[in-house]
Amino acid sequence: MASALYPFAKAVFLSGCIDMMNDVIEAILINENYVYSTLHECLDDIRSYQVGSLHVLTGRDIYSGVFDADDATFTAVTSSYKVSGVVIYQNKNNSDSQSIPIAYIDCSLAPITPNGSNITVQWDNGPNKIFAL
C-alpha cells in the first residue's frame, strides 16, 4: 500500500474544518495488521492498530499546499507487532469518534520491530514533505 490521504479528510479540508496550523494534529504508529481503507472516517476505525503512544506534531509548516513538521519521536515503544505505518490525524475533543484521520504513511517495505527503544519517524525532505494537496 502506498501512502495516501484519507478521502473524508480531503472533504473536510475543502469545508475548512481542518486547520493544520492551529488544530491539534497528532501521529500514531500503526501495526502490521492494519489495512488502509478509503472508508476510514474517524480514529475509532484505526485506534485498535496503534502501537505505542501518540506524538503531537510540532514545528508545523504549510507552503504552496505542502505540509511539513518536525520529525516525530515515539518514546519507549514496545509491542509484539511490527510497525508498518503512521497515521496523522486531527485530534478533535480527545474523542476517537470525532477525530479525523488525515494521512496514512506506509512503512511496510521497512517495518520496524519495537524493542522498548524510541522510534523516530523522519519525514521526507523532498518537495512533497509529509504530504501535498
pTM score of the predicted model = 0.95
pLDDT digits (tens, 9 = 90+) for 95-109: 999 999 999 999 988
**46 residue type, one letter:** I
As a whole number of angstroms, the distance between CA 5 and CA 43 comes to: 14
pLDDT digits (tens, 9 = 90+) for 59-90: 999 999 999 999 999 999 999 999 999 999 99
Tell me the residue range of the domain where 43 lies. 4-132
Q: Domains in the chain: how many in total?
A: 1
